[in-house]
């Protein structure tokens, strides 16, 4: 195992924040994870696990052993007439796995095209987009328990998935290191074009024969038109979750803000955070090297040499302003480090 000292993490987080790791190493198998854990214990330091770095905001140097998860591989476990069980290494790039699934005509992940990050992070967040969430195709995952070094399997029920939530962000936070995720994908595609943007884009693309690649291409086109490329402008995609409010509160807001969009769910009405932020006047605002994206107000950006602490402060101001104007609490999707 190659362990480096005082390494910049700029290339390892999509915000492009230039903070240093006291120690840095990569894991290509479970033995590497256990070795890194022991090294961290010997040094009396925290072991900080890093995936694609697409959902973190670095606000300080990390006096820790940073472990980049690079366990890769796509393994077909089971197959029948209707579906496949596919085990995927936690270090695989999510979008690369999506493209591989589409190339094999395995359905279920096409609406999740171009979401940044790695496969291992997908169940932690219960990632979702355009009418699909990970929990719908999730079968199980394997993870190393930090305290014992043993590998444990988690079923869908045990993961306790919620909106951008799982047990790995609540009661089991920091206790496990995900090494692989197994998905159940369909060989009999049922296309999900319920989001208007997808059907509109498919029409514009003049798609007559609907297939997995066409839906993926449409999603990619939509995401590229709305979201900045992290390779060009540092960002972590959606910075805030879309809040769900009570039906009564929504009706009160609709009386004073007739254009407020709302989507009923089991807990109330989901309101787009992007709409709230734009209506509060933050869209396109720039403050030196950081700001709010001019096309998608849900995305906070680093234009070059921005500081994570400044982006965090900006997010707090947006939260306070939205709370003041609409009485709604916005919660970050991004993890502050």
Could you tell me the CATH number of the domain that includes residue 317? 3.90.78.10
The CB-side HSE value for 304 (13 A sphere, CA atoms) comes to 4
Mean pLDDT of the chain: 91
Average pLDDT of span 265-292: 93
3-state SS, residue 48: strand
Q: Which residue would you say has higher pLDDT here, 328 or 131?
A: 328
Which strand (E) or helix (H) includes residue 123? Answer: helix 121-125
Among 44, 69, 94, the domain-final residue is: 69
- Tell me what pLDDT residue 302 has: 95
Question: Does 63 share its domain with 99?
Answer: no
- Tell me what pLDDT residue 116 has: 86
Residue 333 designated active-site: yes
Question: Does 220 share its domain with 79?
Answer: yes
Q: What is the pLDDT of residues 4-36, one digit of tens each?
A: 999 999 999 999 999 999 999 999 999 999 999
What b/e string do you get for 282-311 counting C-beta neighbours within 10 Å, with b at 16 or more?
A: bbebeeeebbbbeebbbbbbbeeebbbebb
CATH code at position 32: 3.30.43.10
Residue 164 designated active-site: yes
Question: Does 188 share its domain with 89?
Answer: yes
pLDDT at 297 over 80: yes
- Tell me what pLDDT residue 103 has: 93
Question: Does 269 share its domain with 305?
Answer: yes
pLDDT at 196 over 80: no
- How far are the Cα atoms of 148, 201, 235, 308 from residue 125, in angstroms, in the given order? 24, 27, 17, 21
Q: 117: left (phi > 0), else alpha (psi -120 to 50), else beta? A: left
- Tell me what pLDDT residue 10 has: 93
Q: Are 158 and 170 in contact (CB under 8 A)?
A: no
Q: Which of 83, 122, 216, 238 is catalytic?
A: 238
Q: Which of 26, 92, 172, 333 is catalytic?
A: 333
Question: Does 57 share its domain with 84?
Answer: no
Residue 79 designated active-site: no
Question: Does 65 share its domain with 78?
Answer: no
Q: What is the pLDDT of residues 67-101, one digit of tens each?
A: 999 999 999 999 999 999 999 999 999 999 999 99
Question: Does 220 share its domain with 290?
Answer: no
CATH code at position 158: 3.30.465.10
- Tell me what pLDDT residue 192 has: 77
Among 164, 196, 226, the domain-final residue is: 226
Q: Domain residues for 54?
A: 4-69
Question: Does 205 share its domain with 283?
Answer: no
Tally the domains of the chain: 3
Spatial distance between the Cα atoms of 116 and 186, rounded to a whole number of angstroms: 23
Average pLDDT of span 191-206: 78
Torsion angle of C-alpha atoms 63, 291, 314, 308, degrees rounded to 10: 0
Confidence bin at 229 (pLDDT 50/70/90) = confident
pLDDT at 186 over 80: yes
Kindly state the percentage of the chain with pLDDT values over 70.
Answer: 99
Question: Does 155 share its domain with 280?
Answer: no
Spatial distance between the Cα atoms of 66 and 53, rounded to a whole number of angstroms: 12
Question: Does 101 share its domain with 144?
Answer: yes
- Tell me what pLDDT residue 209 has: 81
Among 69, 102, 122, the domain-final residue is: 69
Average pLDDT of span 206-228: 86
Confidence bin at 125 (pLDDT 50/70/90) = confident
Question: Does 60 share its domain with 81?
Answer: no
Q: Which of 133, 140, 164, 216 is catalytic?
A: 164
Question: Does 91 share its domain with 117?
Answer: yes
């Amino acid at each position: 195992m190659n362990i480096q000292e005082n390494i910049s993490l700029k290339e390892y987080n999509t915000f492009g924040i230039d903070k240093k790791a006291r120690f840095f190493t990569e894991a290509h198998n479970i033995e590497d994870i256990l070795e890194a854990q022991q090294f961290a214990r010997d040094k009396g330091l925290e072991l900080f696990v890093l995936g694609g770095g697409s959902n973190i905001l670095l606000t300080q140097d990390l006096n820790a052993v940073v472990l980049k998860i690079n366990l890769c591989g796509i393994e077909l476990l089971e197959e029948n007439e209707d579906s496949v069980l596919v085990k995927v290494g936690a270090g695989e790039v999510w979008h690369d796995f999506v493209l591989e699934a589409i190339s094999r005509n395995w359905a279920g992940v096409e609406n999740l095209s171009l979401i940044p990050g790695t496969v291992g992070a997908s169940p932690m967040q219960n990632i979702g987009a355009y009418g699909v969430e990970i929990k719908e195709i999730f079968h199980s995952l394997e993870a190393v328990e930090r305290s014992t070094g043993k590998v444990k399997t988690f079923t869908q029920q045990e993961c306790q998935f919620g909106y951008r939530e799982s047990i790995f962000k609540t009661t089991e936070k920091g206790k496990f290191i995900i090494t692989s995720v197994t998905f159940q994908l369909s060989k009999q595609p049922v296309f999900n074009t319920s989001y208007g943007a997808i059907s509109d884009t498919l029409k514009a693309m003049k798609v007559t024969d609907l297939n997995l690649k066409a839906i993926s291409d449409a999603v990619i086109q939509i995401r590229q038109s709305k979201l900045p490329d992290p390779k060009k402008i540092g960002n972590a995609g959606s910075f805030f979750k879309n809040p769900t409010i009570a039906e009564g509160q929504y009706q009160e807001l609709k009386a004073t803000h007739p254009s407020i969009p709302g989507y009923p769910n089991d807990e109330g009405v989901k309101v787009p955070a992007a709409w709230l932020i734009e209506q509060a006047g933050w869209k396109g605002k720039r403050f030196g090297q950081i700001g709010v994206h001019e096309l998608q107000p849900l995305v906070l950006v680093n234009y070059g040499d921005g500081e994570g602490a400044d982006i965090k402060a900006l997010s707090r101001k947006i939260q306070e302003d939205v709370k003041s104007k609409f009485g709604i609490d916005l919660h970050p999707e991004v993890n502050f480090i």
